[in-house]
């Protein structure tokens, strides 16, 4: 199975409005409610691809109960740890006129030392049966800033490949623990390395400890610097829609291809096609299956020069 960790889970709400206009009242034309947080989104896509998947992290309060109720009918196993603090909500407002989306994210609960200890105990047990693990998203309050570095080290000690997808200081410390793969976006790369040029920043990030780095460049696709080479993957055309969760679908593509033993160009093509197909879907954690099949045949993957 593949294990996904979402320490700061969320109940995702997506509101669609005809046009988002500041300082006015809006009539919502469509509402979608989903279990969320980056790792939960990753798990849902992995399950849709046919992989056995387990989600862990924290869930608490009335919002956490709704999240777990929404998870129950899905083909993912719930190994979330109860917390006294309430799970956060995230609200995406999709503007039908422009195709843009505005995101509002609550901070999440405060995790106690006892809750963190309970999580670590469960994490160790879950690693025992995992083929890969994804560590995704922000840290809830109360969890120390080096938490992802600790989880990376535990996964490596268990011999389980680990992917890290976070930002800021947790990314800086986590990458130094030598994860197998890191998937930052362009802004996260720039904050980590101080470089804005994507290839330079991605190479710099890998030198900081990651075995491989796959940078998400938004509509321009993915850039990968790995021990086996450097590649750039791009979708066949720019698409309009809701980009929320596209990066999570890319993570699912990378992980699924990793456990299947696919070469890097195939991993990147799958991740790029899934990310693009997610922009066509109604909410994070979903992708347009028909579009995915079409896109997978049309993604461009080219190898770049490997000189540093």
What positions carry a catalytic annotation?
248
Write the DSSP symbol of residue 54. E
Count Cβ neighbours within 10 Å for each residue of 75-105 and write b for 16 or more, e otherwise.
ebbbbbbebebbbbbbebbbbeeeeebeeee
Among candidate residues 297, 280, 275, 293, the one with its CA nearest the CA of residue 42: 275
Tokens 């020069």 -> residue:
305
Phi, psi of 16 (to 5 degrees): -105, 130
Are the CB atoms for 121 and 147 separated by under 8 Å? no
Write the DSSP symbol of residue 263. -
Among candidate residues 62, 39, 52, 57, the one with its CA nearest the CA of residue 136: 39
Say how far apart CA 156 and CA 178 lie, in whole Å.
9
Say how far apart CA 286 and CA 224 lie, in whole Å.
24
Tokens 């899934």 -> residue:
274
Beta bridge partners of 30: 16
């Amino acid at each position: 199975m593949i294990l996904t960790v979402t320490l700061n889970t969320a109940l995702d709400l997506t509101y669609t409005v005809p046009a988002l206009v500041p300082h006015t009242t809006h009539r919502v034309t469509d509402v979608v409610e989903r279990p969320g947080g980056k790792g939960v989104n990753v798990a849902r896509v992995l399950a849709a691809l046919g992989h056995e998947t387990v989600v862990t992290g924290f869930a608490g309060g009335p919002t956490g109960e709704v999240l777990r109720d929404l998870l129950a009918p899905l083909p993912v196993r719930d190994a979330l740890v109860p917390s006294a603090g309430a799970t956060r909500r995230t609200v995406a407002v999709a503007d039908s006129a422009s195709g843009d989306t505005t995101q509002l994210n609550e901070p999440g609960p405060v995790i106690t030392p006892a809750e963190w200890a309970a999580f670590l105990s469960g994490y160790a047990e879950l690693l025992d049966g995992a083929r890969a693990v994804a560590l995704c998203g922000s840290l809830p309050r109360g969890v120390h800033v080096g938490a992802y570095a600790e989880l990376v080290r535990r996964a490596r000690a268990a011999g389980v490949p680990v992917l890290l997808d976070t930002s800021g200081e947790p990314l800086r410390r986590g990458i130094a623990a030598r994860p197998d793969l890191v998937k930052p976006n362009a802004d996260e790369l720039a904050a980590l390395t101080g470089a804005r040029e994507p290839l330079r920043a991605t190479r710099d990030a890998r030198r900081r400890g990651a075995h491989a780095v796959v940078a998400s460049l938004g509509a321009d696709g993915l850039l990968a610097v790995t021990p086996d080479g450097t590649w750039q993957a791009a979708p066949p055309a720019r698409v309009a829609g809701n980009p929320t969760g596209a990066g999570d679908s890319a993570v699912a593509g990378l992980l699924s291809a990793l456990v299947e033993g696919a070469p890097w160009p195939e991993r990147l093509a799958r991740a790029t096609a899934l990310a693009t197909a997610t922009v066509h879907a109604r909410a994070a954690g979903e992708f347009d299956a028909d579009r995915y099949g079409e896109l997978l045949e049309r993604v461009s993957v080219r190898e770049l020069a490997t000189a540093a």
